[in-house]
Amino acid sequence: MLNFTYDIPTRIHFGRGEIKALSGELETCAKKVLVVTGQGSVKRNGIFNDVVREIKKAGIPFVELTGIKPNPRLKSVYRGIEICKAEGVDFILAVGGGSVIDASKAIAAGAKYKNDVWDFFTKDVVCTEAVPLGAVLTLAATGSEMNSYGVITKEDTERKLAFGTPLVRPVFSILDPEYTYTVNKYHTSAGIVDIMVHIFEEYFSAPPTAVVQDRIAEALLKVCIKYGPIACKKPKDYEARANILWAGTLALNGLLGNGKSGDWASHGIEHEISAIYDITHGVGLGIIVPNWMKVVLSKNTLDKFVEFGINVWDVDKDKGKEKIANIAIEKTRDFFTALGVPSKLSAVSVPQDRFRDMAKGAIESYGQVGSFKKLSEEDIVKILTFSL
């Protein structure tokens, strides 16, 4: 196992009605709040009203930034930074999914930085100060509610990049499974795929001796396999929504990744696709990942796929290693298809003509793409071509 320091000070208020914790949280850390929301879902489903009631209970003034799009854009981050500076905002409250939380993180960092916030994504600039933020999560997927990363798209240059600093990890996050009841089937299933792929990115990486992380990873994958289809079929099933929600948080808060090298190739490739074609992140991953598995399966990686097949997909251990590995990959693909996510890039209108640009872009953005198997430009083009 690799060395690590584990420090996740985000307070989680989990469960039905936990929005009641919001006023107390704000009273201790805010004098003026910027409330950041997406394209209207929280206003339609009543979550925003709950939030406003709590803010009023705390007696704290607030201003709003609305309209954050999925795959949040740098332009909206600039808008948020301007509001923070003009209004003297000292706390940011993200109310939404990963896109709203990520935009809030970039605003938090940018509001305390004298130059362009995009520097944090593209240059070796360390963030030294940020406006503190909290989150009311409404969609199970990214883990942004308890991690220190944010992903932003700069539309004019077609770059979608991540930045990270513990300074933007939410001080608190409120996770009420009932708040995810209104997420439609498309985004519910995309979120489940995203959660599972976060686990894969950590699971399929060295060293093989980080056994604690890998056994927890397998347990979380089994939770997704059990409760994912239920959440899709019965959107108001509390236990399904609750288990998926908590699995999503644990999948990307350091619990599985610390002590491991992480792979992140599939994310690197997906971010290149959604930077250009603005597709749903989890959908892109669901298309890419089974083909990534096919390309990285080799005699060096075989044992891990065998472990995956037996421990996660209950494949008969007497079947022979290569067969087990291939069955596991097909079961993964079939599971994603059964959840209802598209299985081909052509189904989400992504043509083949820019595959080479995407491969180059991923290598340019990440230096090295993948560690379980380091991917060459040709490997990435092959994965994309298999995904067509």
Q: Tell me the closest approach of the beta carbon of residue 223 to Zn ion, in angstroms.
A: 17
Q: Which residue among 76, 104, 138, 343 contacts ligand NZQ (CB under 6 A)? A: 138
Contacts to ligand NZQ from residues 22-41, by CB under 6 A: 38-41
What DSSP letter does each residue of 139-173 carry, written as one string? SSSS-GGGSSEEEEEEGGGTEEEEEE-GGGS-SEE
Residue 145 or 194: which CB sits closer to Zn ion?
A: 194
Q: Which two tokens stand for residue 160?
A: 């979608």
Alpha-carbon span 200 to 263, nearest angstrom: 8
Single-letter residue type at 244:
I
Contact pick of 66, 182, 261, 301 for ligand NZQ (by CB under 6 A): 182
Q: Report H helices in the chain.
A: 22-29, 41-44, 47-58, 74-87, 98-110, 119-122, 185-203, 211-233, 238-251, 265-277, 281-296, 302-313, 321-339, 355-366, 377-386
* 355-366 vs 377-386: helix crossing angle, rounded to 10: 130
Told to check if 268 binds ligand NZQ by CB under 6 A, we report: no
**Beta carbons of 248 and 191 less than 8 angstroms apart:** yes
Note whether 68 and 96 are within 8 A (CB): yes
Question: Interacting stretch for Zn ion, rule CB under 5 A, among 48-56, 132-140, 191-199, 352-360?
Answer: 191-199
Among 76, 99, 253, 387, binds ligand NZQ (CB under 6 A): 99
Is residue 144 a contact point for ligand NZQ (CB under 6 A)? yes
Rule CB under 6 A: choose which of 22, 25, 54, 71 binds ligand NZQ: 71
Euclidean distance between the first and final Cα of the chain, in Å? 37
Six token digits for residue 91: 């706390």
What does 286 interact with, of ligand NZQ, Zn ion, none (CB < 5 to 8 A by kind)? none
How many angstroms separate the Cα of 145 from the Cα of each of 98, 318, 345, 367?
Answer: 8, 41, 29, 27
**Measured from the CB atom, is 69 or 360 closer to ligand NZQ?**
69
Q: Is omega for the bond preceding 207 within 30 degrees of 0, making it cis?
A: yes
Q: Is the Cβ of residue 73 or residue 326 nearer to ligand NZQ in the bound state? A: 73
166 is a site residue for ligand NZQ (CB under 6 A): no
Q: Which listed option, ligand NZQ, Zn ion, none, makes contact with residue 273 (CB within 5 to 8 Å by class)?
A: none
Q: Are 32 and 63 in contact (CB under 8 A)?
A: yes
User: Is there binding between residue 248 and ligand NZQ (CB under 6 A)?
Assistant: no
User: Of 33 and 42, which has the nearer Cβ to ligand NZQ?
Assistant: 42
Of residues 229 and 235, the one with the C-beta less far from ligand NZQ = 235
89 binds, among ligand NZQ, Zn ion, none (CB under 5 to 8 A by kind): none
Candidates 50, 54, 176, 194: give the one binding Zn ion (CB under 5 A): 194
**Would you count residue 257 as binding ligand NZQ (CB under 6 A)?**
no
- 70 binds, options ligand NZQ, Zn ion, none, Cβ within 5 to 8 A by partner type: ligand NZQ
List contacts with ligand NZQ (CB under 6 A): 38-42, 45, 70-71, 96-100, 102, 138-139, 141-144, 147, 149-151, 179-180, 182-183, 187, 191, 194, 252, 267, 281-282
